Every structure is written in C-alpha cells, then in structure tokens.
C-alpha cells in the first residue's frame, strides 16, 4: 500500500517540474522537483534493502523489479522518439501517436547519439560541452532525450545501492550508522560543491548525498518511532490467597504464594505532536515557496536547501502518519494545470489531455496486464526494444535518406535543374529550394571537410590536401562561423598550410553579451586562437552587444572599450591580418517584429556598424568584411531576392546557399587583395 505522505511529495515534485518546463521564466526553480525524487528514492530503497539481510536472491529480485518497472516503457518512449525523428509516421503502427510530433531532419544526428547514450543509461556521463549543458539544451529544444539524464543517475545509483547497504549492514549500532551516513554525505556533497557546474549536475557521485539523505531519514524515523511508542512498564504486586480444600471441610490452610510480577503494556505518544506539525508545515511551505518562486535562486543553495527540506517532510510525515497529504498531489497538479490553462489555452489542453490519459481505465488495465507478465516475457520485451533502437541508430543515415527520398524525391529533379549560380529560377523551383534549405539548415552548418565534423560547433581542422599556402588561418565565432566557413576555405586555401575553425552557439567574440551564458565561451575563444597563433584570423559572428544604444562619443562608450580591450589581445596574437564580419540587420523573426517594422525601422545596426568601424580604425591589422553592402539596402533588410524569390536567410537566421553565392565574390576579392 502506498503511503499518502510520500504520494504528496511526488505530487509536489511533479507540479514543480511541470511548472518549470511549461513556464521556465515564471518558475525558474521548479527543477528541484528532481532533487525531491532523489531523496524519496533513497528513502524507499532503504526500506527495501535496509530492513532485511542482503542476499543474492534479494539483489536479483530488486534489479528484476526495477528493470521491469522502468526499462520497457523507457525504451518504448525512446523508440517512439527515434521513429518520429526519422518521420516514419505514415508507415509505422505508432503513426497515430506520432502524428502530433514534428521534428526537422536536422535534429537526427544529435538525437541518435543522445538516444544511444540514453538506452545504455549513461546520458548523464556523455561528453558535455558549453553547448550541451542541460539548461542550455532546454532553451535550444533540439535534443528530445535531454531529460533522460535524471533516470540515468537513478539507475546508476541502483548499481551502487547493494554495495552501500552491504556496508551499512556492518554498522552494529546507531552511532556507527550515523557516522557512515555522515561520511558519505559530506564526501559526496563536497564533491558536488567543488566540481564544475556540468559535473555537479550530471555525475551520480555528486548526487549520492541526496539519496543518502533519504536513507538517513529512514533509519532516523525508525529510531524516533521506537522512542515515540516506547511502552511504560509498571509492576503490581498481587497477593493471591489460594485455599486448598483438605480432606476435612472444616480445616482450611491458607498459603501465600510468591510475589507475582504482572507487566501491563500501555502504548503512548512520548513525542509531543505540536512541534512536529509546526516543523512539517513550515518545511512544506518553505519547499513550495522555493519550488514556485518567480525569481532565480542560486543553484547550489537551492539544491541543498530543498534536499534537506524534502528529508524533513518525509521524516515528520513518517512520524505523524500524515494522512492529510492523500489528495495533496492531486491538488498541486490541479493548481498547476489550472494555471497553465488560464495562461495558455494550448498548453492547458495538452496538460489536461495528458492527465486524463494517465488516469484512464484503459491505462490501468494495461498496467495490471503488464504487472502480471512473467520474467521471460518481460526480458523478451526489453530485448526487443533494445534491438530495435540499436538497429535504427546503426542504420540512421540509410533510413533517413530513404524516408527523405520517399517524401521529397519528386522535388529533386526540379532542384537539380537549378544552376549553381541560380540563374533563371522559376517560382516553383524557388519555393522548393527555400523549403529544402529550411529543412537542412543545421545539417548544412556541419562543414564537410573540417574534422571532426560531427556537429556544427566546437573545434575542427580542415583537410590539408587542397591547402597550398604557407600560413595558418583560423576562423572563430558563433554559428555564422560554420555557416560561412566553407567560403573562407574556398577562397583562402591557396594562402593556408593549416586551417582551423572554432565556434560556439550564440556568444560573440569581442564582448560578453550574457555573463552567465557566454563568459566561459568568451575565454575559450581566446584560448583556442592564442594556442595556434594564426597568421590570419576571421571573426565571423553576429554581435548583439555592439548593437546596444550608443550614448555620447564612441571613445567613452563602455561597450566599445570592452570590445577594444579584447581586440588588442587578438591583435597581439595574430601575425598578419584580422578580418571582422560586417554587422548586418537581420530579418524580423516573428510576426510581432514584422508588424513593428511597418511603423518603425530598426536602426540599432548603425550602433554596431559605428563601433566596428571605430575598432578597425584603431587596429592596423583589422579589416571589415562588408557583406551588409550586398544583403542590406540602406533602410531595411532584404530578406529575399526580388527577381528569383530565393531567401537570404534560413529560419534560424543563418545565410542560405543563395546569399552565400552572392557574397562569394567579396571573399574572393579579399583573398586576391591579400598580401
């Protein structure tokens, strides 16, 4: 039978996580629901292992039950996600479910790698960079398996649990038990606080302390329950007179038996209730406040506080047999669902559909049927899912190409007729090309001859086969670097003997637009360039901070001073030339911005242009690459070519092959004029 107070903790954790994922700006701390689950898991696991001897049979039974409860549904969801990525909706039996999901082809490679990490339960231990940190991945919404990290941490702790509880079994008294918990908690918590943000978030060894808090709560609650229900022993001495009838009715002999000690047991509540209720409700109120607070709280302080508060609620709930939480999880989810519905109709409908489905009788019948399955059927199901997922990962390119050919093969004939210079493009061909470029935007950001080239960002070195020069050329910047990297390679390969590229998502080179998000990326830019000491450096980024309002003379502007200080560092580490991409005004990216542009022209690009021109004046090695002279007509952005109807920008604001063809002569001219 499930305890109502623990169900209440689950309800609070679910409500916090849902609020965080639906409305991260309003509930930025809701992710601590996962920390509550870790504490709860530690408590429940100790109930299984800590209350009885550990044997091979008990360990086997534990792992089988965990695998049966988690793996089939977990693997099924991953399989559905992979099939949706491959867009086999119209040919697969899961199509009726997946028809509501839309994923672009450009996400396939990233998600296949992520799925591989997830099915073998080490997604949290996979190589992490600034570009694939959890919260950054949530904002980008490209990896649909981002959330599997927490289940991977949980399953990895399951592997550690038998060893931990085996050591606990050697603790013969409460002092040893407390000391053992204290040592592991302090060690793991210290590791958590001293590790990098990524390691502290993802590593199971930095999370063990949260599970051990739950374990400590279990043992402490048992001790307190024993103390609370301790019986009072008292003795009554009863003198019983026993008479024995002798042969003679008249003669009676009175004997006095030995004193008899009679023990009466009177259970009572030794611990006062009011302080426990105060502690319980105070902890719960504070935890709810932290979970749904509208401002961001420092992660480490929030995680530590919420973990100990969760332990306190479980402890006091255990002592009080807290029945008032029987509907707490329903109330908390109802509150979040109602808030979502009133704030966003679509999200509210989706939420209530999910809630209705999760409570449907069909789901309950399926659950009962599944729980009755034997070991062989369960293992066969798990094995079948594993084989299916592995085959899809291994054959992802073939499957993706086949599906793409089935869906868009009829368009290829028209596309192939378009000349590389895009002359005489019909309207039908323009529509097909624009759609094709939109589908393949991020795929085209992966430079084919720069290795390793698994993703668009990070470090790579270009193929030396066609490099005929004697210089080191380096490209650095945000996503415009892989976007335009091929142009640099085509035009400067006769000058280079080695050519490198390093890029990072969003963050610009000369300034730090977002301290938390870009400070480390800003420093990494410098490290990568300064290690190679290039002869020629291309700064290919889309600056944001340089566009901000300019008040007064540019020499007194703080943003300009910051950019100039950074540029001086690069100037001292680049031997010959620095090319800086000229800042362009990008097309409106939303309907609201389009409407605003009808009444007001955005001239903020002039601030960036003015700052860039002044920077170049103070840097003898620097030169601007003025692509805005081609893609910008003076008062508003040209989003497409009037004659061919071909777009200049992808949906993600990168430059399309058509626009690259227009600016290629500019890069060639720069190469020809280079001395």
Tell me, what CATH number does 490's domain have?
Answer: 3.40.50
> Does residue 233 lie in a domain region?
no
Residue 410 CA to residue 543 CA, distance in Å, equals 40
338 & 474 share domain: no
452 & 355 share domain: no
Residue 70 CA to residue 382 CA, distance in Å, equals 10
pLDDT number for residue 347:
45
Alpha carbons within 13 A on the beta-carbon side of 502 = 21
How far apart are the two ends of the chain, measured CA to CA in Å? 81
Give the structural domain span for 142: 4-226+270-389
Residues in the chain: 675
Residue 145 CA to residue 113 CA, distance in Å, equals 10
327 & 454 share domain: no
Cα–chain-centroid distance for residue 593?
A: 29
Q: Are 577 and 621 in contact (CB under 8 A)?
A: yes
Cα–chain-centroid distance for residue 558?
A: 35
67 & 171 share domain: yes
311 & 199 share domain: yes
352 & 454 share domain: no
Residue 180 CA to residue 625 CA, distance in Å, equals 64
385 & 476 share domain: no
> Does residue 91 lie in a domain region?
yes
pLDDT number for residue 335:
44
602 & 515 share domain: yes
Q: Are 463 and 451 in contact (CB under 8 A)?
A: yes
Which of the listed residues 346, 366, 389 is the one where a domain comes to its end? 389
Which of the listed residues 389, 406, 429 is the one where a domain comes to its end? 389
Q: Dihedral of CA 408/412/414/415: which sign?
A: positive
pTM above 0.75, yes or no: no
9 & 150 share domain: yes
> Does residue 520 lie in a domain region?
yes
> Does residue 126 lie in a domain region?
yes
> Does residue 75 lie in a domain region?
yes
**Tokens, residue 511:** 């300034």
Residue 164 CA to residue 170 CA, distance in Å, equals 11
3-state secondary structure of 609: helix
> Does residue 490 lie in a domain region?
yes
pLDDT number for residue 257:
39
pLDDT number for residue 497:
95
Overall number of domains in the chain: 2
Which of the listed residues 389, 415, 434 is the one where a domain comes to its end? 389
pLDDT number for residue 489:
95
**DSSP E strand boundaries for 218-366:** 232-238, 241-245, 252-256, 260-266
220 & 118 share domain: yes
pLDDT number for residue 137:
57
Q: Are 39 and 310 in contact (CB under 8 A)?
A: yes
Q: Are 487 and 439 in contact (CB under 8 A)?
A: no
**Tokens, residue 201:** 């978030």
Mention every residue, 6+ apart, whose C-beta is less than 8 A from residue 547.
583, 604, 605, 607, 608
> Does residue 231 lie in a domain region?
no
Rounded to the nearest 10 degrees, the angle between the axes of helix 299-320 and helix 208-228 is: 30
Helical H segments across 87-171, by residue range: 95-98, 108-119, 134-140, 148-168
187 & 311 share domain: yes
188 & 299 share domain: yes
What residues does 265 pair with on adjacent strands? 233
Residue 214 CA to residue 315 CA, distance in Å, equals 9
Q: Which residues of the chain have pLDDT under 70?
A: 1-4, 50-52, 81-112, 126-143, 230-270, 321-368, 370-371, 396-397, 399-404, 406-410, 412-414, 416-417, 419-420, 583-605, 632-638, 652
> Does residue 337 lie in a domain region?
yes
pLDDT number for residue 321:
58
Residue 502 CA to residue 512 CA, distance in Å, equals 17
Burial (0-12, 13-18, 19+ Cβ within 10 Å), 674: middle
């Amino acid at each position: 039978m499930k305890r109502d107070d623990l169900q209440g903790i689950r309800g609070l954790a679910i409500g916090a996580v849902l609020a965080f994922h639906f409305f991260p700006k309003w509930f930025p701390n809701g992710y601590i629901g996962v920390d509550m689950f870790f504490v709860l898991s530690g408590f429940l696991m100790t109930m299984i292992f800590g209350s009885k001897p550990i044997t091979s049979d008990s360990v086997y039974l534990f792992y089988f039950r965990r695998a049966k409860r988690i793996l089939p549904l977990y693997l099924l969801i991953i399989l559905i996600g992979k099939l949706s990525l491959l867009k086999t909706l119209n040919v697969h039996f899961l199509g009726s479910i997946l028809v509501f999901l839309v994923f672009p082809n450009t996400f396939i490679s990233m998600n296949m790698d992520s799925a591989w990490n997830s099915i073998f339960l080490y997604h949290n231990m996979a190589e992490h960079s600034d570009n694939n940190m959890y919260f950054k991945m949530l904002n980008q919404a490209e990896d649909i398996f981002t959330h599997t990290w927490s289940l991977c941490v949980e399953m990895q702790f399951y592997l550690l649990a038998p060893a931990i509880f085996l050591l606990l079994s050697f603790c013969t008294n409460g002092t040893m038990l407390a000391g053992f918990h204290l040592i592991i908690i302090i060690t793991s918590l210290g590791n958590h606080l001293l590790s990098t943000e990524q390691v502290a978030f993802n590593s199971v060894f930095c999370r063990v302390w949260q599970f051990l808090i739950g374990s400590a709560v279990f043992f402490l609650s048992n001790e307190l329950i024993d103390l609370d229900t301790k019986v009072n022993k008292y003795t009554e001495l009863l003198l019983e007179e026993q008479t024995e009838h002798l042969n003679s009715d008249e003669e009676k002999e009175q004997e006095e038996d030995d004193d008899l000690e009679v023990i009466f047991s009177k259970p009572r509540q030794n611990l006062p209730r009011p302080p426990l209720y105060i502690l319980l409700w105070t902890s719960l109120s504070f935890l709810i406040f932290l979970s749904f607070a509208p401002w961001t709280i420092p992660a480490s302080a929030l995680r530590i506080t919420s973990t100990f508060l969760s332990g306190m609620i479980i402890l006091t709930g255990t002592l009080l047999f807290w029945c008032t939480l029987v509907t707490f999880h329903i109330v908390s989810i109802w509150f979040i669902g109602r808030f979502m519905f009133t704030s966003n109709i679509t999200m509210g409908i989706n939420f209530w559909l999910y809630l209705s489905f999760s409570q449907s009788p069909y789901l309950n019948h399926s659950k009962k049927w599944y729980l009755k399955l034997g070991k062989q059927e369960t293992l066969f199901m798990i094995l079948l899912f594993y084989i299916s997922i592995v085959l899809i990962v291994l054959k992802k390119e073939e499957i993706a190409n086949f599906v793409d050919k089935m869906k868009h093969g009829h368009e290829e004939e028209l596309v192939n007729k378009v000349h590389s210079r895009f002359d005489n493009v019909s309207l039908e061909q323009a529509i097909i090309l624009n759609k094709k470029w939109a589908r393949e935007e991020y795929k085209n950001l992966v430079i084919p001859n720069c290795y390793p080239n698994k993703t668009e960002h990070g470090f790579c070195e270009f193929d030396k086969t066609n490099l005929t020069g004697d210089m080191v050329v380096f490209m650095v910047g945000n996503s415009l670097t892989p976007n335009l990297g091929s142009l640099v390679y085509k035009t400067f390969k006769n000058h280079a003997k080695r050519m490198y590229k390093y890029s990072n998502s969003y963050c610009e080179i000369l300034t730090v637009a977002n301290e938390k998000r870009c400070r480390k990326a800003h420093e990494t830019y410098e490290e990568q360039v300064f290690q190679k000491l290039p002869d020629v450096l291309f700064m290919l980024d889309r600056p944001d901070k340089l566009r901000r309002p300019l008040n007064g003379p540019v020499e007194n502007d703080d943003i300009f001073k910051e950019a100039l200080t950074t540029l001086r560092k690069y100037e001292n580490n680049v031997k010959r030339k620095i090319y800086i991409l000229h800042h362009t005004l990008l097309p409106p990216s939303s309907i609201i911005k389009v409407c605003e542009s009808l009444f007001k022209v955005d001239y903020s690009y002039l601030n960036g242009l003015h700052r860039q021109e002044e920077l170049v004046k103070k840097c003898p090695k620097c030169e601007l690459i003025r692509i805005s002279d081609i893609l910008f007509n003076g008062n508003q952005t040209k989003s497409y070519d009037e004659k061919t109807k071909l777009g200049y920008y992808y949906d993600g604001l990168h430059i399309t092959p058509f626009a690259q063809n227009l600016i290629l002569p500019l890069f060639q001219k720069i190469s020809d004029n280079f001395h």
